[in-house]
Structure 1
Amino acid sequence: MSTHTETARPEAFTAAWQEWHTAHERHRAHAHGFLAVTHLHWLGSEPVALDGVPGTWSAANDAVTVVLEPGEVLELEQQPLPAGETVIGPIAERGGLNLTSGETVIEVAKRGGEYIVRPRHPENRLLREYQGTPAYSPDAAYAVRGTYVPFEAPRPTTVGAAVEGIQHVYEAPGEIRFKLAGRELALTAFNGHAPGSLSVLFTDQTSGKTTYAANRSLSVVPAADGSVELDFNRAVNLPCAYTDLATCPLPPAENRLPVAIEAGEKIPYERQDQQ
């Protein structure tokens, strides 16, 4: 438990966190989000039929080939693919596109240099039974100021993945230095999804105890002068915290913090019997 008292938290800080958390939960429970993933298929050079997906599939020469029989339906941007062979790609690493078949959205993507197919269906049991994610009560003591320090040149950084046998390579443009619990700390940052944002993957002394063991993620946006707010109350779980059908990256070794971050999202209910 945090040693900070409820009365020490300004009401406005708590209200802002609650609004953010509600929106994040709504996004997570989207009908075709990662909780809707029913299968994870790794493609090889031999054409194969895939559970939950029309057609036969293969990958070679940095492209995906799908072959549809008459009557099988796959759409790309609301346009049906023709019967017979369609070649998709190349797709950039960590990129992807979505096909549809009825209520199913079919993600075709590249992860760790390999092509994958992941169908997503709104009636998937994990999504249908999702009851929200437990989190620490918001605590302003875990919203700290830091400084973003760019490296002389971006550093290619190789990290492991939640799935055995693959690695992710990210470009790390710099690190964020900050002080917490009386310790001078630093986190290597990767480029975020939104322009100008950074993504930080980390573990801490709560990992595997009250928070998910493999990783948590925090998105930050440095100001022009390099100052940044690290609000660990908004540290979130990645998809691998909920499903084994995810390929999430693990934090770089230097991002294993020697302090307990008693803030942000906790171990999902779905995983609590596995810790």
Structure 2
Amino acid sequence: MTDRNTDSPASYPSEFEQALASWHEARLRLVTAPQGIAALVGTHWLTPGAEPVAIEGLDGTWRVEDGDIVGDDLTIEEGSEVLLGSRVLRHFRRDDEVALRVLDAEAPTRASVAGIDAYLPDEAWVLTGRFDAADEGATIDVEEIDGYTETSTLAGTVTVTIGGEEVSLIATGPLTGMQVVFADATSGTESYRFRFLKLRADGGTGPIEVDFNRAYLPPCAFADFYVCPLPPAQNRLTVPVRAGEKQVARR
């Protein structure tokens, strides 16, 4: 008896496909972890100097004191969180506003995530663009999904050609982890209403790799109560970007 392998070498995943598969698996783990992205059940805004308030599902009352969130028997400092049973209580700041975020391992939004639908990997969507750094200290006003306008650090613009059309995308944040928030001709139909893309421009102005295969869904696609930034007008593309994550697959 002779062993037979009918697979041709071309049928095996390439290194590019394997790397993307690993990335997608890591994304799903991040989303569906016990207190991961999909587990958010509330963002409770607290007013400094106001009387302590009760929060549904939590014992005691809560207030802001010197920037910290203070409960009856615990304090959550800025940038920190505490584990309370199946829940994580997290300090969240937006400009001068402070909120108590509650993530619950038993959240229905977490239980309902069956996966993340994505376009098939395509190396044609790994593009080379040009990054032009903004002036040091430059900022941009960014509208968020709840209507709030937040001032963010402007990293610069990324110019790339998509479907024969040259577009310039606004990027925010540090050069080592810039964020591009964009919508395209698939948004709201084939894909979620907008998506994120992380880029690096360690060397400043110059060529930059733009891999749309790694475009991903914002947290607000998985659970309510997030305050995701919306795409600036300049980042609302008229061409389709059929690459990256598309939609949340629900049970």
Which of the residues 100, 105, 119 maps onto 1:122? 105
Residue in structure 2 matched with residue 273 of structure 1 by the alignment: none
**Is the CA contact (8 Å cut-off) linking 1:205 and 1:261 kept in structure 2?**
yes
Does residue 217 of structure 1 match 2:196? yes
Does residue 267 of structure 1 match 2:247? yes
1:125 partner amino acid? P
2:55 partner amino acid? L
**Is the CA contact (8 Å cut-off) linking 2:42 and 2:101 kept in structure 1?**
yes
Does residue 53 of structure 1 match 2:58? yes
Aligned counterparts of 2:71 and 2:154: Cα–Cα separation in 1: 39
2:189 partner amino acid? K
Aligned counterparts of 2:92 and 2:202: Cα–Cα separation in 1: 33
Residue in structure 1 matched with residue 160 of structure 2 by the alignment: 178
Aligned counterparts of 2:245 and 2:170: Cα–Cα separation in 1: 21
Task: Give percent identity, aligned residues only.
Answer: 33
**Is the CA contact (8 Å cut-off) linking 1:38 and 1:52 kept in structure 2?**
no
Residue in structure 2 matched with residue 36 of structure 1 by the alignment: 39
2:25 partner amino acid? T
Aligned counterparts of 2:36 and 2:80: Cα–Cα separation in 1: 14
Residue in structure 1 matched with residue 228 of structure 2 by the alignment: 248
Q: Could you report, residue by residue, the CA deviation over 1:77-128 in whole angstroms, capped at 9, with x for unpaired residues?
A: xxxx3xxxx5x55x4xxxx321222221101111253211111121111112
Residue in structure 1 matched with residue 26 of structure 2 by the alignment: 23
2:70 partner amino acid? V
Distance 1:266 1:65, change over 3 A: closer
Tell me which of the two structures has the higher relative contact order, counting C-alpha pairs closer than 8 angstroms and 6 or more residues apart.
Answer: 2
* Gaps in structure 2 of 5+ consecutive residues: 1-9
Residue in structure 1 matched with residue 94 of structure 2 by the alignment: 111
Does residue 147 of structure 1 match 2:130? yes
Shift of 1:211: 1.1
Which of the residues 178, 199, 212 maps onto 1:198? 178
Which of the residues 63, 67, 71 maps onto 1:63? 67
Aligned counterparts of 1:41 and 1:198: Cα–Cα separation in 2: 28
2:61 partner amino acid? T
1:148 partner amino acid? F
**Is the CA contact (8 Å cut-off) linking 2:41 and 2:224 kept in structure 1?**
no
Distance 1:261 1:144, change over 3 A: same
TM-score, normalised to structure 2, is 0.86
Shift of 1:267: 2.3
Q: Which region of structure 1 is more displaced relative to structure 2, 246-255 or 261-270?
A: 261-270
Does residue 236 of structure 1 match 2:229? no
Partner-residue secondary structure (3-state), 2:16: helix
CA RMSD of aligned residues (A): 2.3
Aligned counterparts of 2:60 and 2:67: Cα–Cα separation in 1: 16
Over 4 Å off, 4+ runs: none
Aligned counterparts of 2:125 and 2:157: Cα–Cα separation in 1: 18
Structure with the higher strand share, 1 or 2: 2
